[in-house]
Amino acid sequence: MTRTILKGRYGLLVGRCCNGDQFRASVEMWDCQKGIGTPVMASELVWRSDEETEASKDLLSLGTSKSLRCGLSVEFRNEEAVGYGVLREWFFIICQELFDPKASLFLACPSDPRRFFPNPDPVMYKSCKRIFKMDADYVDSDALGLTFAREFEEFGSRRVVELCPGGNSIIVNSKNREQYIELLIQHCFVKSIAEKLSCFTRGFGDILCERGLQKIFFQSLELEDLDLMLLGSGEAISVKDWKAHTEYHGYKENDDEICWFWEVVEGMSMKQRRELLFFWTSVKFLPARGFSNLSSPLSIYKVEKSDQHLPSSRTCFYKLTIPQYSSLSVMKQNLLIISFGLS
């Protein structure tokens, strides 16, 4: 796996454990009907720069919707951590690859990079705009040479699809150009992706719940509610709220190390805070009600190690382990490494 895909602590992991050219993970699925602890399938993913998404897709396709609802266990090679934190991180890495602009599948929304929409076609947009504004006599002269058909590229080959029955023989003129543009847009954004969208919807529904319950589930939600559940809150992270939901083990709230820690966090940019939170919990965006809506409180553990040791985390338990650093400057340097320097 390339360094651009790996975030946070994996920047160190690649060089130390995998020599920068591969990354391994073990994944197991369990069948509810056969009982907990009975694997239906087990496989090892060897992730390389251009194979990780395909390998994960092939692996997941072997499981049934029932087995997936019972849980997915992910373990990264050369790491002891298991559980939901690791699973969240694995999904995060896979989603980064799927939504990478280089894949040309989706583009990030300019106003909110966490939202994505199908890759638009600016050339087609400009073309439609020109046709709509052209002089009527020019369009009627058939200078454009257009019919009610759409030509596009799919998997490396050119395809021609009629926008309506007999579309190949219907010439675009000043009277029907508006209908032509409407049908063109309809095909581009609805009909051409209908099958893909249907597959996505079925897959989403299979994992979410039994089909009979889906209608009841969605009827109880407004669009904004579902949006907030999926995306989390985009509001700024409150350090005061963060402190209020953090417990200490081995340290006391007024110990120098804890005071230094929060002083560094206070001085971080919002991006750095999110990277630190992700390193700690595998969560970058908090639920609607902030830290109080996480599954458990965050905790900081004390460990007797030298200034050369970086903080470590167990994301499944929201546990951050911090050595007894000798000064504020050492604390700041090491926290910035895990929250910004490797992101």
Q: What amino acid positions are annotated as catalytic residues?
A: 316
Calpha distance 5→49 (Å, rounded): 9
Residue the block writes with tokens 């699925």: 29
89: tokens are: 């991180």
Nearest Cα residue to 92 out of 208, 6, 189, 22: 6
**Could you give the strand order of the β-sheet that contains 23-30, starting from the edge strand earlier in sequence?**
39-47, 23-30, 72-76
* 220: CB partners within 8 A, 6+ apart: none
Identify the three-state secondary structure at position 44.
strand
Other residues' Cβ atoms within 10 Å of the Cβ of residue 323: 20
Distance between CA atoms of residues 276 and 270, nearest Å = 10
Q: Report the C-alpha gap between 104 and 127 in whole angstroms.
A: 21
Q: Say if CB 136 and CB 175 are below 8 A apart.
A: no
Task: Provide the H-helix boundaries in the chain.
Answer: 10-17, 52-61, 65-69, 84-98, 122-133, 136-140, 177-189, 194-208, 211-219, 223-231, 239-244, 256-266, 270-281, 328-336
In sequence order, the 6+-apart residues with CB closer than 8 A to the CB of 207 are 65, 68, 69
Give the separation between CA 216 and CA 271, rounded to whole angstroms: 38
The answer to whether the Cα torsion of 227, 229, 230, 234 is positive or negative is: positive
**What is the number of other CB atoms lying within 10 angstroms of the CB of residue 52?**
21
How many CB atoms lie under 10 A from the CB of residue 234? Answer: 11
